[in-house]
Structure 1
Amino acid sequence: MPAYKDKKRNTWYANFYYQDWTGERKHKCKRGFKTQREAKDYERNFLDQQSKSSDILFSSLIENYLEDMEYRLKPTTMKNKRYLIELKLIPYFGKLKICDIDTIAVRKWQNILLTSSDENGKPYSATYIRTINNQLSAVLNYAVKHYKLASNPCRAAGVIGKSKAEKMSIWTKEQFEFFITHINKSAMKLAFDVLFYTGMRSGELLALTPEDILPEKRINICKNYAMVNGVEMFLVPKTPRSKRCIAIPDFLYDELQEYMARLYECEPDKRIFYFTKHALEKEIKRKAETADLPIIRVHDLRHSHASLLIEMGFDILEVSERLGHESVQTTWDTYSHLYPDKDQKLAGQLNRLRRPEDT
């Protein structure tokens, strides 16, 4: 694996042949390296990425994995995936060949996660730990499928963390209405009203345009807004069932109409709300502290809406359709704990089948 000196520029370059994924022999030349070592490292890493076997370095596998996923996942998903991988996986496994990552290595890494804390000294949440562990497992599953890795060591190492938080953070209607009295900006106030009384995701809210507010007092939810690396994007909804048209109460429809009437040059296809998700998160935290309320996330207003519907007596199917979940099972897995008396109601109905006189 030689490197060559460019005497005119006083730099080094790598010059070599390789076989691409189609089996074709190709030539590669890369110039401008300050040292011979940098040129050799470039060639080594490049050839490693062409490898189809389990002796590929984890860092090279990651580059190939992310390049592949770029075509299959949404930009927002890719952004989060890159963040977790670069922060939590590469520092520990980057220099290892994937065939050398065994169960012991994974468990030692897991133990580090279990004893780690965030920048405020607070231990990682069980759900965050599970998310990180799942990401490593996903990468190694990819290696099993495409790089001849014999098996995924994460399976033998076991799962850590929890898939769901032990306690869901929500606000009651009374808490929300008290919170909203502390909001001074009309746009922010309306945005929080929409979130609480529709259960929309924040990205769905921020993508709303005047043409999405229908005369039948319904909102057409058909797109998702995101900011990725400073670039504004309108994306397709999270799942096919996320495309939905939901009814809204009269007061919310009137608020939206009054607000849009005040907007300057409010074109039908332009966003109604011009702030970002970060601005919403900052405002809800700041005003919750002012109101001496439990601190919740913007997404927890969606949970609060679901809780409100369940308290009002709506069944799980109705809640699922309004929230735009892909399946009723998703809704049940998330909110079943809010139906604590389901067994008693079921038993009561079965009893009335046999003994109607008890009704």
Structure 2
Amino acid sequence: MTYASRVEAEEWKRRLDANRGSLKAIEAEIARSKESGPTVEEAFERHIGQLMGTEKFTLKKYRDNVRLYFSEIADRKVSGFNRDDVIEWMRWMESRGLSPKTIADIRGLLSAMLTTAIHDGHLVTNPCKGVRLPKDMRVTDGMSPMTYEIWAAIMAQMDPSFIPFFDLLIGTGFRLNEATVLGEEDFMLDQPTSLVKVDKTWKRSASGGYLIGPPKTRRSRRTVSIAPSTAESIRPLVENANGGFVFTLKRGGVIRPANLYRTAWYPACEAAGLRGNDRPRIHDIRHTHASWMIAGGMDIFTLSRRLGHESIVTTSNTYGHLLPDALFKSAAIAQAVLEASPPIGLPELTP
């Protein structure tokens, strides 16, 4: 094919590269560009601009994701967006080596934008509906609860100044950003049952820094009971906080994931002989707490509230596989009910 100018030739080359050499796809793209209404980029900006109650950092992240993952289709008219476009976009995401979870998360942003476009009258149906997400072929979901022996081995090598903080994490399952912002006013250690109040967390600002704000969801705002041993471990730090954060670095700085890993977690794991894939993540402490609570008999509803999950479905999907005994208990309960004469709670039937 010949072109009138180098600029025109380079434009067609760009189109061919973006459409994997398919002239049919380019023709469809040109037809879509002639349709009315906003482009994909404009529709995203309208959708994000309408979001309410969303942190500035989250809005910035959404806009960054649009630039990162939708640049190839940014100038297409949203009114011409169809199911084939969604499938092609997902294949493009897969070809970049992105994880199924990342694709699912970004597809959720796309679907939300298209729903807004429907409300604005630019589409009739959402083309994301019915398009199956790629399967996650990983053997595990990355969750690695620790055994009591592994936890004890790490704590035996831990810098003593950090042990109360890790005692709190393993005893509550708190998220790191929840635990590091706690002040002495959040602890009620002299109650019959010691309690910790969670009503704030660290958040990222639009500039990339940190600020203190409310938890992300209503369920994240909660009061959690702690064991007497945990209360006694943290008591000296609570009583000497002097209006500041209860848990800090050795020199008084704010605990962040990176500096906690570098100064405390990594050295202790290395000294305990846990390296490479055998070394658990700090976030696995939360999973470990959940698995230990389940092993101890805590029901999934109570655990969900304790962890601050917005929905019990989240807890069940995350930790349901750790509840094999529940299946047997359910079967035993069902058998006991059905063997009753008449079944418990049901009236006798008369002919």
TM range (shorter): 0.7 to 0.9
> Which of 297, 317, 328 is matched with 1:313 structurally?
297
Which letter does structure 2 place at the counterpart of 1:98?
Answer: V
**Where do 1:37-116 residues align within 5 Å?**
55-69=37-51, 71-89=52-70, 91-116=71-96
For residues 169 and 78 of structure 1, do their structure 2 counterparts lie closer, same or farther at Cα, with a shift above 3 Å needed? farther
Give the deviation of 1:205 after TM superposition: 0.9
Unaligned residue ranges in structure 2 (runs of 5+):
1-34, 249-253, 341-351
Work out the CA distance in 2 between the residues paired with 1:75 and 1:327.
24
> Which of 234, 254, 258 is matched with 2:212 structurally?
234
Are residues 1:183 and 2:158 paired? yes
Are residues 1:201 and 2:175 paired? yes
SS class of match (2:259): helix
For residues 355 and 94 of structure 1, do their structure 2 counterparts lie closer, same or farther at Cα, with a shift above 3 Å needed? closer
Work out the CA distance in 2 between the residues paired with 1:103 and 1:286.
50
What TM-score, normalized to structure 2? 0.73
Which letter does structure 2 place at the counterpart of 1:67?
Answer: G
Give the deviation of 1:100 after TM superposition: 3.1
Higher relative contact order at CA 8 Å, sep ≥6: structure 1 or structure 2? 2
Work out the CA distance in 1 between the residues paired with 2:200 and 2:155.
26
Work out the CA distance in 1 between the residues paired with 2:133 and 2:73.
18
> Which of 332, 336, 345 is matched with 1:348 structurally?
332
Work out the CA distance in 2 between the residues paired with 1:146 and 1:297.
44
What TM-score, normalized to structure 1? 0.71
Which letter does structure 2 place at the counterpart of 1:311?
Answer: A
1:133-183: CA deviations, max 9, x gaps? Answer: 222222222222235223222225433345998443222232222223333
Give the deviation of 1:110 after TM superposition: 0.9
Work out the CA distance in 1 between the residues paired with 2:130 and 2:337.
49
Are residues 1:246 and 2:224 paired? yes
Q: Percent identity?
A: 26
Are residues 1:336 and 2:320 paired? yes
Asked whether the 8 Å contact 2:37–2:122 carries over to 1, the reply is no
Work out the CA distance in 1 between the residues paired with 2:139 and 2:196.
31
Asked whether the 8 Å contact 2:36–2:77 carries over to 1, the reply is yes
Paired residues, what number? Answer: 292
Match of 2:188 in 1: 214
